[in-house]
Amino acid sequence: MPSADQNDLLFDRARAVIPGGVNSPVRAFKAVGGTPRFIRRAEGAYFWDADDRRYIDYIGSWGPMILGHGHPAVVEAVQKAVLEGFSYGAPTEREIELAEAILALVPSMEMVRLVSSGTEAAMSALRLARGATGRKHIIKFEGCYHGHADALLVKAGSGLATFGHPTSAGVPPEVTQHTLVLEYNNIAQLEEAFALHGNDIAGLMIEAIAGNMNFVRATPEFARRCRELCTQHGALLIFDEVMTGFRVGLHGAQGVLGIRPDLTVLGKVIGGGMPLAAFGGPRAIMEQLAPLGPVYQAGTLSGNPVATACGLATLKEIAKPGFYEALAAKTRALVDGLKAAAAAEGQPFSADSEGGMFGFFLMDELPQNYATVMTTDGAKFNTLFHGLLARGVYIAPALYEAGFVSAAHSDADIAATIEAARQVFQAA
C-alpha cells in the first residue's frame, strides 16, 4: 500500500490552524494548484520536503539565501550570537558594524536604520519621505511590490495619472488617496504626473529592477527621468532594493543603473535569512527620525543581535572579490540554457538576469510593464512549474515572481535544471 504523501497530511493540518495553511500567501500554490511542499531541511542549493524529496532551490527564501543554505561561516556566526543572547532591547556594537558595512557598500546612504522586515522598512521610508518634505503624495508603479503597508496596497485608478484604489479589503480609500499609481517604463505618464502634482509629491518609490512582476528592468531613460523629475520638484527618489540590494550586484540596482536615489530600502540578503531589513539615505534626511527628529519609528526586535550576526557574516562573504562575477556567470548560464532549450523545442521564451536574480517569460519578447507580464499564458506556466517540480526543480509557484541562484548552485545543478526544462518543453 502506498503511504500517504506527508505534504498532503501537513497541508491538511496547517489549513486547520493557519489561514490557507501558510504564513505568506504565495507559498500556498494557489496560482499553480497542487499541494505546497513542506520543507524539512535545506543545505547548499537544495531543500528537502516532508517526503524527503530533494529540490534544486531557485527561490532561496525569495532572495535572502544568496550563499545557499547553511553556509559554514554564517552558521558559525549565528551559533556564536545565539549563545550570547537572543535580544536585549539595548544597543549593540554589532548593529554599528552592520550599519558601517552597509554604508560602505551603498554610497548613496550616509545613515541607516535597521528594522525587521522589508514591509516595515518601506513603510518607514515612506513616512520619512513625507515627514522630511512635508508633502502627502507618493508615486508607485503598477507591478512593483513594496510590502503590505496600507498606502502601498494600491492599483491604478481609471485614466492617466489618477490616484489609486486599494487592492486589499481593509484598506480604506482615504488611505490610498495620496498614492499615484503609474505604468512602469512609461515616461510620458511620469512627466504628466509630475506636471499635475509635482509640488505635492513627497517621494517616488520604485523597484529599479522589478522582481515582483517576474523580472522587468527600468529602462535607463526611464530611471534617469525618475531621478531628474524628483530632483526638479523636490521629491525624494526612493529605491526599494529589498530584493535587488546585494542580489543584482554588490551595489544593488543603483549600482547597475548608475543612479543615486535619495532613500534606499533594503531587506532579504542583508539578513542572510533572518528577519532583518533597513532603510537609509543622506544624514540630513535620516536625522529627521526619532529620537532626533519628529518622524516616529521604532521596533522591539530592530537590530536583533542574532539577525545582525547572520547579516554581517553574509555581507562578509558576498563582498569577497569575484563573488558577483561568478554568481552572474552561473545565472546567465542558466538563463541562456533555458532559452536554448525552449528554442530547440519551438517554445516562445524570453529571459533576463542580473547578478544572482533572473526571470523568464513564456513569450517571445521581454515585457516592459505589468500589463504585458500579465498576458503570459497561465496554464502554460503551470505546466512548466509542475513539470519542473516533478523533476526536482523548485521555481517560484507564480509567474509574476523572479528567480534566484545562489553561490552554492553547481554547474551540474544548472545543467540538470536546463535538462528538466527541456523535457517539459518537449512534452508540451
Report, as residue numbers or ranges, the catalytic residues: 145, 240, 268
* Angstrom distance (rounded) from CA 30 to CA 76: 37
Q: How far is the CB of 268 from ligand PLP (least distance, A)?
A: 6
Beta carbon nearer to ligand PLP, 404 or 425: 404
* Angstrom distance (rounded) from CA 61 to CA 301: 21
Beta carbon nearer to ligand PLP, 328 or 402: 402
Question: Does residue 118 touch ligand PLP according to CB under 6 A?
Answer: yes
Q: Which stretch binds ligand PLP (CB under 6 A): 88-96, 145-153, 224-232, 344-352?
A: 145-153
Nine cell digits for residue 98: 552592520
* Angstrom distance (rounded) from CA 112 to CA 127: 15
Beta carbon nearer to ligand PLP, 147 or 337: 147
**Can you tell me which of 137, 146, 197, 225 binds ligand PLP, judged by CB under 6 A?**
146
**Can you tell me which of 108, 119, 133, 304 binds ligand PLP, judged by CB under 6 A?**
119
**Can you tell me which of 57, 207, 262, 413 binds ligand PLP, judged by CB under 6 A?**
207
Residues 6+ apart with CB under 8 A from 21: 11, 14, 15, 28, 36
**Can you tell me which of 36, 211, 305, 337 binds ligand PLP, judged by CB under 6 A?**
211
User: Angle CA(69)–CA(72)–CA(73) in degrees, nearest 5?
Assistant: 115
Which residue's beta carbon is nearest to the bound ligand PLP? Answer: 118
Which pairing describes strands 201-206 and 236-241: parallel, antiparallel, or unpaired?
Answer: parallel
Beta carbon nearer to ligand PLP, 242 or 313: 242
Three-state DSSP class for residue 346:
coil
Beta carbon nearer to ligand PLP, 65 or 341: 65
CA distances from 128 to 117, 150, 329 (A): 16, 16, 38
Whether 154 contacts 112, CB under 8 Å = no
Which residues, 226 to 245, sit near ligand PLP by CB under 6 A? 240, 242-243
Which pairing describes strands 277-281 and 216-217: parallel, antiparallel, or unpaired?
Answer: unpaired
* Angstrom distance (rounded) from CA 318 to CA 326: 11
Binding mask 262-281 for ligand PLP (x = CB under 6 A): -----x---------x----
Q: How far is the CB of 146 from ligand PLP (least distance, A)?
A: 5
Q: Which stretch binds ligand PLP (CB under 6 A): 35-43, 91-99, 117-125, 337-345?
A: 117-125
* Angstrom distance (rounded) from CA 408 to CA 44: 5
Question: Does residue 247 touch ligand PLP according to CB under 6 A?
Answer: no
Across 58-188, the runs of DSSP E, i.e. the strands, are: 111-115, 137-141, 154-155, 165-166, 179-182
Q: How far is the CB of 38 from ligand PLP (least distance, A)?
A: 20
Question: Does residue 252 touch ligand PLP according to CB under 6 A?
Answer: no
How many residues of this chain interact with ligand PLP, rule: CB under 6 A?
15
Whether 74 contacts 272, CB under 8 Å = yes
* Residues contributing to the site for ligand PLP (CB under 6 A): 117-119, 122, 145-147, 207, 211-212, 240, 242-243, 267, 277
